[in-house]
Amino acid sequence: MAPNNLFYTLFLYIPLLLFIRNVFAQDAPLFVQGGFEDATATDDTYNSGGTITVNGFNIQVPKNLQVQFPAAWVPWKDFTADKQSMLGYEINVIGNFINGKPIAAQVIAYEFFEGLSSGFIESLNFAEGTMKIASGPTVRISDPNAVFSIGYTQAPFFTADDESPSISSFSGFPMCIPRSTSDPLCPSTNRPFQGSGTFSVPDPLSMAPFLVGDFVTFSGIRRGNEVIAYSIVAQNVMITTLGDLVYLRMELGLLGIDNISPNTELAESRFIGFASNPRTTVALYAMDTDPCTGKVTDRIIATMGLRGGRNEQNKFEYRSDILSGYAREYRVVAEINGVPKTRTTKNGLLAGTYVQPINVWVHGEQVIPGTAPPANDFSQMPWLTNGIGVDENGNLWGPLDPFPQTGVFIDPPQCGPVSQLMFEGDNLNTTWAPSAELLNTTAPADNVAPPPPPPPPPSNVTARGVAPNEIIPARTKRGVPNVRWLSRARLESETIPQGDTVIAKVE
């Protein structure tokens, strides 16, 4: 009987084991969001991978992965070196299970997702660069280059964006905590009265100071008894600009990622922002990165006016299904009468443009219950499949390795000897062409919902808002090493009217 029992057992369980093996051999989506427990780096190389533990999951991190922070991309080994300060923070890991093993493609760091607070400013301390919130915490701007305040360098990963200012009034007009009672870059004359209101300022090329009584919303991290803020918006202050000067503020960059599986639903992509000038229209660009040099090229996506033609908020919004050609950062450029309007301010900001990293990633979601869950598709993300090129230290960032999706052909770019590559990510070129010109001269692509035809270009328009071929010198290299900054490293773009573009027009 024993041999027969053994044969019967094998007859039953071998097919089951084969079935289980086949199930685990399929790619399956990985999405983990929760408390950060631990992280390790495989070695000390600049592009090292490793592991991360979140919510009890131990997840492999591929080589060349960079962690996304609100205004910075940080190499994995640098993230692990500072892990003690972030234990317990909320981390979002997106990837796939490959043969049952979780492998990350994206790691996004917060202290708390949507960790937003609001309150009235009770007092300001110019010497410390802080604001006290009534019945709340003391807020200090994470400001390593001292653009918005006296400066603070102790939280470099959670920095405020001082190129696309994340410290602003509701309209996007940049705001500040004065360094003294007579700060020429934060003049008190730019707040003609205290309290709520909509107004223009005497010097629109300088910032406006926060005042006691302002109602602010802020996001940041807790350090002791303070909140180190990377975003502050004065909700009750609507500073407008006149003539051809425009400031922009982006509130949302949500990207719906398509999936080759028919068993998925595509989320609508959305970009929402505000302008200081009611005459503004806005051009939206994807920011493509050369996988060898790091050079960024703007690719036209859409043009959009203010909602309803005009509205109290000067709000603009883009909604559409984007099917391919994704980027990790997008840029909006203000136009008036069809002409791009960018200008360097006294604080060294570039008014009229704003770089928005994607802050909400929505991968294709399963449609049919009772079926195998479709894997996340990263094949249309060139910064993952090709890399982002050489950095300012001469290090070449290539594709994720191992790639967290089977069936994707990874062909690393042929860049030649790394020693001969020159980093081009800090060249700031502000010669954007009118969007109507780009839309009229670029063939429509099939990777967006069918758009209505673009408007004709305005007559007799030749100006671009800046002098021809004007190059703005890059600011002195930031004092915090090993951080690949979203803002300056992505404000160097050159726009071309050719290529595989996504074209749409939003009224």
Average pLDDT estimate for 375-401: 96
247: closest CA among 187, 169, 320?
Answer: 169
Q: What is the pLDDT of residues 137-186, one digit of tens each?
A: 999 999 999 999 999 999 999 999 988 999 999 999 999 999 999 999 99
d(C-alpha 268, C-alpha 449), whole Å: 10
Provide the percentage of residues in the chain whose pLDDT is more than 90. 70
Q: Within this chain, do residues 144 and 213 fall inside the same structural domain, yes or no? A: yes
In the predicted structure, residue 357 carries a pLDDT above the cut 80: yes
What pLDDT score was predicted for residue 441? 60
Average pLDDT estimate for 424-448: 66
Secondary element (H or E) of residue 441: helix 435-441
Q: Label the pairing between strands 50-54 and 57-61.
A: antiparallel
Q: Within this chain, do residues 97 and 9 fall inside the same structural domain, yes or no? A: yes
Domain boundary among 208, 239, 270: 239
Average pLDDT estimate for 210-214: 97
Query: Which two structure tokens, joined as six digits, stand for 295?
Result: 């050079």
Q: What is the pLDDT of residues 213-266, one digit of tens each?
A: 999 999 999 998 899 999 999 999 999 999 999 999 999 999 999 998 999 999
- Total number of domains in the chain: 3
Q: Within a 13 Å sphere around the CA of 377, how many CA atoms are in the beta-carbon half? A: 22
In the predicted structure, residue 502 carries a pLDDT above the cut 50: no
Per-residue DSSP letter, 373: P
Which of 293-302, 439-448, 463-472, 475-484 has the highest mean predicted lDDT (pLDDT)? 293-302
Q: Within this chain, do residues 378 and 415 fall inside the same structural domain, yes or no? A: yes
Distances in whole angstroms, Cα of residue 154 to Cα of each of 66, 107, 141: 20, 22, 11
Amino acid at 351: A
Only one residue has tokens 């503004």, namely 280
Alpha helix (H) residue ranges in 328-404: 382-385
Q: Within this chain, do residues 260 and 357 fall inside the same structural domain, yes or no? A: yes
Sign for the pseudo-dihedral over CA of 393, 395, 398, 402: negative
* pLDDT classification of 26: cutoffs 50, 70, 90: confident
What pLDDT score was predicted for residue 450? 39
For residue 70, what is the domain's CATH number? 2.40.50
Q: Within this chain, do residues 36 and 135 fall inside the same structural domain, yes or no? A: no
| Threshold 0.95, pTM exceeds | no
Q: Within this chain, do residues 202 and 294 fall inside the same structural domain, yes or no? A: no
The answer to whether the beta carbons of residues 142 and 173 sit under 8 Å apart is no
Query: Which two structure tokens, joined as six digits, stand for 118?
Result: 């609001």
Sign for the pseudo-dihedral over CA of 173, 179, 183, 184: negative
Q: Within this chain, do residues 203 and 293 fall inside the same structural domain, yes or no? A: no
Q: Within this chain, do residues 21 and 155 fall inside the same structural domain, yes or no? A: no
* pLDDT classification of 428: cutoffs 50, 70, 90: low
DSSP reduced 3-state for 269? strand
Q: Which of left, alpha, beta for 151 (phi over 0: left; psi -120 to 50: alpha)?
A: left
Domain boundary among 188, 219, 239: 239
DSSP reduced 3-state for 33? strand
Q: Note down the domain range covering 407.
A: 248-506
* pLDDT classification of 1: cutoffs 50, 70, 90: very low
Q: Within this chain, do residues 216 and 262 fall inside the same structural domain, yes or no? A: no
Q: Label the pairing between strands 130-133 and 28-41.
A: unpaired
Q: Within this chain, do residues 135 and 104 fall inside the same structural domain, yes or no? A: no
Residue 459: Cβ-neighbour burial (10 angstroms; 0-12, 13-18, 19+): exposed
**Number of helices followed by number of strands (H, E) in the chain:** 4, 37
Distances in whole angstroms, Cα of residue 345 to Cα of each of 11, 48, 304, 441: 77, 39, 25, 32
Only one residue has tokens 């749409």, namely 504
Q: Within this chain, do residues 87 and 229 fall inside the same structural domain, yes or no? A: no
E-assigned strand segments in 212-275: 215-223, 226-234, 237-239, 248-257, 264-265, 269-275
Domain boundary among 47, 79, 109: 109
Q: Within this chain, do residues 284 and 139 fall inside the same structural domain, yes or no? A: no
d(C-alpha 364, C-alpha 501), whole Å: 22
Distances in whole angstroms, Cα of residue 75 to Cα of each of 49, 143, 196: 9, 20, 42
d(C-alpha 398, C-alpha 395), whole Å: 10
Only one residue has tokens 């996506």, namely 301
